[in-house]
Amino acid sequence: MHDYFDEHKPKGSNRSQIAVKHRWALIQKAMNKFCAHKVAVDRLNESGKNEQDRIDDAVQMYERTKPFTIMHCWKKLRNEANWNNKFLELNNSTSPNGMSTPATQGHTVAGHTESGNENIDTTRPEGRDSAKRRSRSKSFTETSSSSTAVEVLPRLEEKSEKTEQKQDQQMAEILSRKDEKIKIQRDLFKLQKKHMKMSVQQQKKEYAIREKRTEAQLISAESSIMSIDIEKVPPYLKNYYLGMQQQIMERRGFINPSNNED
């Protein structure tokens, strides 16, 4: 299949073997489902309806769940012997008792009426009893083939539904993991923000403590300077201590610097 695709692929296309196989599997699945609908419609054999009407009815049955977008594929495959044999093989493999199902006389398994001349003895007319037996045999084979197709259809739909449910479950798990990851990141951000706030508060407390400690040391030094008896210090230190005491008094607001300058 991939070799055929490589030989006939459009210019610029680079589909891999896996991609081609996956695409063909989707087409085959949709074709099997549509052919089963077509055989079921043919089985009804409603009067007044031609082949196109039966095709339209089969499309309507198919599109109860999803659109039928590969009509062009069905038109190409409906007369292909390999495809008809593949569909018949699928019917036989999915039959409950494992027995092969006879093909419908006058119909292909792809779900359309074959045109052709029947082998009729023109030299001798067919008897009434023979005609009845042939009609009953034809009706039985058509019913058997249609019944098998109808049995295959629910299995295909059930398999498709289970696949979709599994995909939905996987997607829900992925979204759940993403939501959980987002929640963890959000909690981590809140924790970091809280830690940063506590760190700032701690720094403020430490700064206030350092300020108080510095102020206490300054007061202690000022007290020592202010308590010095100027009359008892050596003459060369008097001006120093007087100046220091003057600065302390100005800084503490006991003396106005402008008044002192005057």
pLDDT tens digits, residue range 54-102? 999 999 999 998 899 989 888 888 878 777 777 777 666 554 444 444 4
Q: How much is the average pLDDT of 143-162?
A: 67
| Cα angle, residue 206 at apex, residues 200 and 208 outer, rounded to 5° | 105
Q: Is the dihedral of CA 120, 125, 128, 130 positive or negative?
A: negative
All structural domains of the chain with their residue ranges? 2-114+137-186, 192-261
pLDDT at res. 55:
93
Structure-token match 């199902």, residue found: 101
Of residues 232 and 112, the one with the higher pLDDT is 232
Q: Is the pTM of this model over 0.75?
A: no
Q: How much is the average pLDDT of 21-30?
A: 83
User: In a 10 Å sphere around its CB, with 0-12 CB exposed, 13-18 middle and 19+ buried, how is residue 41 labelled?
Assistant: buried
pLDDT at res. 113:
46
Q: How much is the average pLDDT of 147-154?
A: 62
pLDDT at res. 115:
42
